[in-house]
Structure 1
Amino acid sequence: MMVEQVEVLVVGAGQAGIAMSEHLTRCAIPHLVVERSRIAERWRTGRWDALVANGPAWHDRFPGMEFAGDPEAFPGKEAVADYFVDYAAKIAAPIRCGVEVTAVRRNPNGAGFAVTTSAGDIVARHVVAATGPFQRPVIPQMVPHSAGLRQIHSADYRNPGQLPPGGVLVVGAGSSGAQIADELRQAGRQVVLSVGPHGRPPRRYRGRDFVWWLGVLNKWDAEAPPDTKHVTIAVSGAGGGKTVDFRRFAAEGITLVGRAEGFQDGVMHFAPDLAANLARGDADYLRVLDEADAWALRNGVALPTEPEARQIPPDPPCVTDPILSLDLAKEGITSILWATGYALDFGWLQLDAFDAKGRPRHQRGVSAEPGLYFLGLPWQARRGSAFIWGVWHDAKHVADHIAKLRGYLDYGAPAALEPL
Structure 2
Amino acid sequence: MERVEAVVIGAGQAGLCMSYHLSRLGIEHLVLERARIAERWRSERWDSLVFQFPNWMLRLPGFAYEGPRPDDFMPRDGIVEFLEEYARRTMPPVRCGVRVTGLYQSPSGHLRVEADSLSLEALHVVVATGPYQRPIVPALSQSLPAATWQITANCYTRAQQLPPGAVLVVGSGGSGWQIAEDLVRNGRRVYLSVGRHLRVPRRYRGQDFGWWQEALGTADQVVGNVPRSMPPPLLTGIDGGHDADLRDLQRRGATLLGSLGAVEGTRLRFVSDLEENLAKGDAGFEHFCRSVDAHVQRHHLAAPRAPAAPQATGPMERAVQPGVIDLAATGITSIIWAVGYQPDFGWIHCAPFNTHGHPVHSRGLSPTPGLYFLGLPRLHKVKSAFLWGVGEDAAYLASHILDRRRGV
User: TM-score band, normalised by the shorter chain?
Assistant: over 0.9
Matched residue, 1:305: 305
The secondary structure found in structure 2 opposite 1:239 is helix
- Structure 1 window deviating more from structure 2 (343-352 vs 14-23): it is 343-352
Question: C-alpha distance in 2, partners of 1:63/1:369?
Answer: 27
Cα distance, 1:230 vs structure 2: 5.3
The secondary structure found in structure 2 opposite 1:402 is helix
The secondary structure found in structure 1 opposite 2:14 is helix
Cα distance, 1:309 vs structure 2: 4.1
Q: Which runs of 4+ in 1 moved over 6 A?
A: none
Matched residue, 1:379: 378
Question: C-alpha distance in 1, partners of 2:195/2:122?
Answer: 44
Question: C-alpha distance in 2, partners of 1:21/1:41?
Answer: 17
Change (3 A) 1:274 1:318: farther
Matched residue, 1:47: 45
Preserved contact between residue 10 and residue 33 of structure 1 (Cα < 8 Å): yes
Aligned AA (1:192): Y
Query: Quick one: which of 120, 123, 148 aligns to 2:121?
Result: 123
Matched residue, 2:7: 9
- Structure 1 window deviating more from structure 2 (83-92 vs 32-41): it is 83-92
- Structure 1 window deviating more from structure 2 (260-269 vs 14-23): it is 260-269
Name the TM-score, length of structure 2 as normaliser: 0.96
2:224 is the alignment partner of 1:216: no
Matched residue, 1:241: 241
Cα deviation 1:31-50 (Å, max 9, x = unaligned): 11010100001101110001
2:348 is the alignment partner of 1:366: no
Cα distance, 1:311 vs structure 2: 3.2
Cα deviation 1:343-383 (Å, max 9, x = unaligned): 11011111133123321010110111111000000000000
Aligned AA (2:305): T
Where in structure 2 are there 5+ consecutive unaligned residues? none
2:82 is the alignment partner of 1:83: yes
Cα deviation 1:45-83 (Å, max 9, x = unaligned): 110001111111101321422333411111111111111
Question: C-alpha distance in 1, partners of 2:309/2:337?
Answer: 31
Preserved contact between residue 257 and residue 318 of structure 1 (Cα < 8 Å): no
2:326 is the alignment partner of 1:322: no
Identity over the aligned pairs, expressed in percent? 43
Cα deviation 1:191-226 (Å, max 9, x = unaligned): 111111111111110111111111111100112239
Aligned AA (2:145): S
Preserved contact between residue 57 and residue 66 of structure 1 (Cα < 8 Å): no
Question: C-alpha distance in 2, partners of 1:271/1:355?
Answer: 30
Aligned AA (1:133): P
Matches within 5 A, 1:186-205: 186-205=185-204
Aligned AA (1:349): I
Query: Quick one: which of 125, 132, 136 aligns to 2:130?
Result: 132
Question: C-alpha distance in 1, partners of 2:257/2:187?
Answer: 19
Question: C-alpha distance in 2, partners of 1:130/1:175?
Answer: 22
Where in structure 1 are there 5+ consecutive unaligned residues? 410-420
Question: C-alpha distance in 2, partners of 1:232/1:300?
Answer: 29
Change (3 A) 1:141 1:254: same
Cα distance, 1:227 vs structure 2: 8.2
Question: C-alpha distance in 2, partners of 1:317/1:268?
Answer: 23
- Structure 1 window deviating more from structure 2 (241-250 vs 11-20): it is 241-250
Preserved contact between residue 20 and residue 61 of structure 2 (Cα < 8 Å): no
Matched residue, 2:160: 161
* Equivalent pairs, count: 405
Matched residue, 1:38: 36
Preserved contact between residue 256 and residue 318 of structure 1 (Cα < 8 Å): no
Preserved contact between residue 74 and residue 237 of structure 1 (Cα < 8 Å): yes
Matched residue, 1:265: 265
Change (3 A) 1:122 1:230: farther
Name the TM-score, length of structure 1 as normaliser: 0.93
Matched residue, 1:414: none
